[in-house]
């Protein structure tokens, strides 16, 4: 049970023979009640200040929690951005590798086609050389035959002249 200053001031004692001086007791009780009132007021003030500080601490804890949440979210966002950037970089590299492979394949196919074209041109050249050689040989033989025929004709003409001149 709490004792209030009013309880102290209203406290009555039985008076006995050779008891305490009532005015001294009343005066002492009055001083104690005033002191008690001051202590209660100070305690109330301290309690209010304590509650105010507890609210501030709670606000700081709430802020700290919010900051930690923000930090966690920021870190998560940063990690997500890093992960996305790495994935995007991997995609870009993969795409570049695919393009490079395609270009190399195209170049290789083109080189193969050029080699085939060169081989075909060499074959055609050899065929043309053989055909030209055959044509030249045929013409040379015709020319030789024509020369022989002309020689034979000259000989025949000379024989004819010889025979006519006899």
pLDDT tens digits along 6-33: 877 787 777 777 777 778 888 888 888 8
Q: pLDDT tens digit string along 111-120?
A: 999 999 999 9
Say what the pLDDT of residue 121 is.
Answer: 97
Query: Where are the domains positioned within the chain?
Result: 5-125
Given a cut of 80, whether residue 130 has pLDDT beyond it is yes
Mean pLDDT, the chain, whole residue set: 90
Residue 1 has a pLDDT of 59
Q: Residue 11: which of 37, 29, 36, 34 has the closest Cα?
A: 29
Whole-model pTM: value is 0.44
CB-based contact 69:48 (threshold 8 Å):
no
Can you tell me the mean pLDDT for 151-165? 80
Residue with more model confidence, 160 or 147: 147
Q: What is the pLDDT of residues 30-72, one digit of tens each?
A: 888 888 889 999 999 999 999 999 999 999 999 999 999 999 9
* Exposure string for 84-114, b = 16+ CB within 10 A, e = fewer: eeeeeeeeeeeeeeeeeeeeeeeeeeeeeee
């Amino acid at each position: 049970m709490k004792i209030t200053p009013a309880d102290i001031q209203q406290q009555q004692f039985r008076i006995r023979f050779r008891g305490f001086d009532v005015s001294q007791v009343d005066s002492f009780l009055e001083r104690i009640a005033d002191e008690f009132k001051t202590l209660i007021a100070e305690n109330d003030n301290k309690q209010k200040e304590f509650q105010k500080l507890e609210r501030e601490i709670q606000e700081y804890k709430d802020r700290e929690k919010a900051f930690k949440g923000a930090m966690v979210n920021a870190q998560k966002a940063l990690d997500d951005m890093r992960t996305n950037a790495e994935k995007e970089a991997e995609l870009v590299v993969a795409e570049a590798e695919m393009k490079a492979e395609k270009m190399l394949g195209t170049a290789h196919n083109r080189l193969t086609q050029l080699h085939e074209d060169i081989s075909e041109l060499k074959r055609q050249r050899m065929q043309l050389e053989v055909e030209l050689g055959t044509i030249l040989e045929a013409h040379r033989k015709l020319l030789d035959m024509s020369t022989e025929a002309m020689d034979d004709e000259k000989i025949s003409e000379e024989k004819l002249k010889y025979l006519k001149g006899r």
